[in-house]
Amino acid sequence: MQKTTIKLRRNAKAGKAPIAIIGMPGIGNVGKLVAENIRRELKAERIGTIYSPHFPHQAVMLKNGRLRLVNNTIYLAKVKGKPDLIIITGDMQAVTPEGQYDVNYMIFRLLKERFNCSFIYTIGGYSTGEAVQQKRRVFGNATNTKTIDMFKKTNIIFGKSKGMIWGSAGLIPAFARMGKVDAACLMGETAMLEVDAAAAKSVIEELSKVLGVKIGTDNLDKIIKRTDEIIRQLGQANINIPMPMGQMPVEGGAPSPDPGHRPSYIR
């Protein structure tokens, strides 16, 4: 395998002007949690797989004793009376800048040329470096002012997030802007937990309003409850929860020159 390859099922066909939702692993795994939850709740069908030499050189061990290459997966969800949803998530993101450009440009071309998507959403996590409330805020950036106006009746905050959006969450909307396709990146405010289901739930609540589609969050509520219990137990044991500041994430903002200031990371 010498190049990124997208394998679609022969019968992979979406309706007119579908909407794409891309959620990859990142800070708090917010994007992946959102995409996986939507896939599960809407009973989306797997229609394709993305393989790339730009992904980490790893294979996933399966419960049945078999294995497979790490990949990204493409799903199709049909919702009565609404545009079809193309949902893309995966095990990993590309590990080099060249790989990020290659994989994400191919994803954008697939969405524009193969499926003729009318709108593209990417999902990520955003850390302000400040304490967060249980009800997380959702920040957004979009391809143009007209697109931002679509979200006036939501609680999504535009124009307040700062820094860089790395990886799929940032590159795909940027490619969409160049290719004249409307797109937005929605970012759940995260506490920099390894798995931040509270941030993912806030994004889904806002996305559900925009799409006009009911999306359950029972599974996320269970994760939130378990996470809160673990944090409570660690607090009683006087164990500090380390923040992952010593490593640069797959997608994120550059660290502040002030060592006493926690940087904002977006991915």
Q: Could you give the CA distance from residue 75 to residue 20 in angstroms, rounded to a whole number?
A: 10
pLDDT attached to residue 134:
75
Which DSSP letter does residue 43 get? T
Q: Please state whether 246 falls in left (phi above 0), alpha (psi between -120 and 50) or beta.
A: alpha
The enclosing domain of 183 has a CATH number of 3.40.50.10900
Mean pLDDT (10-residue bins), the chain, 267 residues? 93 94 95 97 97 96 96 97 97 97 98 97 92 88 96 94 94 98 97 88 96 95 88 67 39 37 43
pLDDT reported for residue 204: 97
Q: What does the block give as tokens for 221?
A: 């509520």
Separation between Cα atoms, residue 26 and residue 126, nearest integer Å: 10
- Residue appearing with tokens 């009318």: 118
- Domain total in the chain: 1
How confident is the model at residue 240, as a pLDDT? Answer: 55
Q: What is residue 267's predicted lDDT score, i.e. its pLDDT?
A: 54
Diameter of the chain by CA atoms?
56
> Which pLDDT belongs to residue 156?
97
Q: By residue range, what is the domain housing residue 114?
A: 5-266
DSSP single-letter state for residue 260: T
Element (H, E) at 117: none
Q: Are 35 and 87 in contact (CB under 8 A)?
A: yes
